[in-house]
Amino acid sequence: MSYQEFWKPYREETEERFSLVVKRLEQMETEETAAYPYRTYFRHAASFLRKLCSLEEQSYQGDLQHKSLEELQRLNRELYEEILPEHYADSFANPSFAAAQLGEDYGRLLGMLYADLRSLIPYAFEGRIYELTIFGELLIEIYNCFEQEKEPQTEEIRRIIYWFYHDYGEIFTEISVLSQSSPEMDFYVRIIMDSDLSDLRYLYRYGFYISENERKIAEFLNQMPEREIQAMADTYTEGYRIGFEVTGKDLSKKKYVDLRYPVGFERMMRAAVKNFQKMGLQPVVSRNGEISFSGRGNGNRSVESVSPNRQYEYDHKSDRAAYLDKALVERRLEALRTAYENCKERAAWYAGPAVVETFGQEGFEPKNCPFAYQFHEKQQKLNVYWANQSMQITNNYIRGEERSFTIIAYPIPEIGAQFEEIFAKTVEVNTLDYRQYQQMQQNIIDILDQGESVHVTGKGKNTTDLRIAFCQLQNPEKETIFENCVADVNIPVGEVFTSPALKGTNGHLHVTEVYLNGLKYLDLELDFKDGMISAYSCKNFETEEENQAFVRENILRHHDTLPMGEFAIGTNTTAYRMGLDYGIQSKLPILIAEKTGPHFAVGDTCYSRAEDTPVFNPDGKEIVARENEISRLRKEDSQNAYFNCHTDITIPYDELDAITVLRKDGSSVDVIRDGKFAVPGTEALNQPLL
């Protein structure tokens, strides 16, 4: 089945409605039936949506492929121009502008709606008239309310939006689930495999914002020898295969690998697809969408380009608060369950994601907009409930103990003038000899396994003072507490990690500056009592209330507290040196940054939902610290056993004083002292630190 055949039923269902929508939108652009200032908003929204409808027709007919590079660049600029930082202040997509023009209540609602319309840009390029049609009908229905002599109540508009998502949420959920196991939905795969990658017009087939980063990385990869491209792809796909091998999972039972990659990396991805096909895996690309219903700005889009404006995304990340309630969550959960049940055989063939990330963008410090939606307390609890329940449903059909993943990262040109050097150094970091690290890390684990706990202290301005309790070994000859992590699912090589015991894990964690999930934190501080966060703050904003709200929303993910789900010691001092030499420490992604010092994850453990699957180190010892006192509840109280988040927070070596193992007999031994490794046999790790 081809891509167009897959979408044919959706197209046939809406073709007539689509034509009616286009005609009505055209009328809205000139009518004066809605009062000022709403008339201006609806004309603008109608004009934008009609432009998308025109693009959909051009895409479906194949007309876009005949446009020149200059024409496609101009079109891309026109689509995203109004939300670029230099124009955002005067856009209805800006909650502050919308509130100023339309009033606070209408500004929030109609600004949220406009952001949803803007999220349809990629759909127009995919030829998906179904979504364009139903959102067009939604805009027209709301416009009709403003054509009446009496101005509508805000609640009336909110209810229209609510019922729209209530009624169509089932379709959005179904498409998202189908995309995990439907190679027929191959729009992105066809770009990778069929495009002339030397002709950069292919970048504009996605409909995403295309910046200098995407253009330059594509040009850069085009200039690389084929053997280097193949080596990059091999590192990526072998990490995926080895992830199944080392955990004893049967890859032969799987058929679909979920590609997640940045625009511009298609040449590497083409080689990777061929590698995966040799493993018996067909590529799929998940569709989570960027509409508010799916959680706009949550970083779940499988194919991404550099954001045109991260403040825009931050302003609209909680737009679902406009209509979220318990009934909608329950309906969405039922739709999710039904969607998986309808394709349960295919869902079982899903092997997991293979992820390519990028790094190098300038840091982003968000500003709080008083007119942006925020989840109230009940909605925060609903988000937590949805995350827990949806993960349980998904895990019933895509078993955690049977799937795996891999993730690797590369820099983008925005990182600076030394981009090509940094890229080459990153490739080196990603391909370090895992055998050498395996032995050095084993030396560290042998010391750690002697302890009841470790004491971690910062130095200088870093006030960290933490004691982390360990799971206790019953049979040290055959068991170990820490996993010896070499380059498989988590590239590059370089860490040993464990799931700490919560009881006895106490103290203060402090990092002076850190980027987590793209957001900058200044003086992030977390206190732990028996392994659970007992207090938290940062210094991003003027008031303590704002700082705590920022941490609660973006690290605690609306939970009242989170456990310390992981304690790890990063050993990739080569990556740390790279960060220092090129002045890019703050730009390293967590994938690499977590290997450049000790890190502490808050949330679930690394073995979440796969705790009962035995895992062994290369020396044959079983890693027994796969759960904690919270995840141990999974068989009797699964609702409270998981938090569905895992955020790594790293202390860099230069802010680290010591990591000291505390033994049961009262003696102690250093793993790190004054920021340097102190375990015999790890001397090579200190060379990059000198």
Position 348 in a domain = yes
What average pLDDT does this structure show over 344-368? 93
Mean pLDDT of 143-148: 96
- pLDDT value at residue 613: 86
Q: Are residues 553 and 680 in the same domain?
A: yes
Give the bridge partners for 602, in sequence order: 564, 647
- pLDDT per residue over 85-101, tens digit each? 999 999 999 999 999 99
pLDDT tens digit string along 577-623? 999 999 998 899 988 999 999 999 999 999 998 898 888 998 999 99
Task: Please give the tally of structural domains in the chain.
Answer: 3
> Is the separation of the CB atoms in 337 and 134 below 8 Å?
no
Among the candidates 133, 168, 203, a domain finishes at 168
Residues 159 and 243 in one domain: no
Same-domain status, 99 and 229: no
603 and 499 housed in the same domain: yes
Same domain, 80 and 208: no
Length of the chain as a residue count = 690
CB neighbour list of residue 458: distance below 8 Å, 6 or more residues apart:
464, 465, 510, 651, 655, 656, 657
Same domain for 565 and 608? yes
Does the structure show a pLDDT above 90 at 677?
A: yes
Return the pLDDT at 401.
85
The contacts of residue 405 (CB under 8 Å, 6+ apart) are 240, 243, 352, 353, 354, 355, 489
Token pair listed for 566: 């992981």
Instruction: Kindly state whether residues 401 and 341 are assigned to the same domain.
Output: yes
Q: How confident is the model at residue 433 (pLDDT cuts 50, 70, 90)?
A: confident
pLDDT of residue 75: 98
My answer on whether 401 and 440 are in the same domain is no
- Is a pLDDT exceeding 80 seen at residue 302? yes
- The whole-angstrom separation of Cα 654 and Cα 121 is 45
3-state secondary structure 560-595: CCCEEEEEEEECCHHHHHHHHHCCCHHHCCHHHHCC
pLDDT at 169: 93
Cα distance between residue 619 and residue 439, in whole Å: 10
> Residues 682, 443: contact at Cβ < 8 Å?
yes
Euclidean distance between CA atoms 401 and 348, whole angstroms: 12
564 located within any domain:
yes
Residue 51 domain-assigned? yes
Instruction: Give the pLDDT confidence score for residue 12 in this predicted structure.
Output: 84
Range of the domain at 654: 433-689
Looking at the fold, whether 612 and 482 belong to one and the same domain comes out as yes
Is 119 in the same domain as 192? Answer: no
Co-location of 194 and 95 in the same domain: no
Judge whether 641 and 608 are in contact, CB under 8 Å: no
Say if 36 falls within a structural domain: yes
596 part of a folded domain: yes
Residues 301 and 442 in one domain: no
Highest mean pLDDT among 179-188, 478-487, 534-543: 534-543
pLDDT digits 0-9 by tens, 406-421: 999 999 999 999 999 9
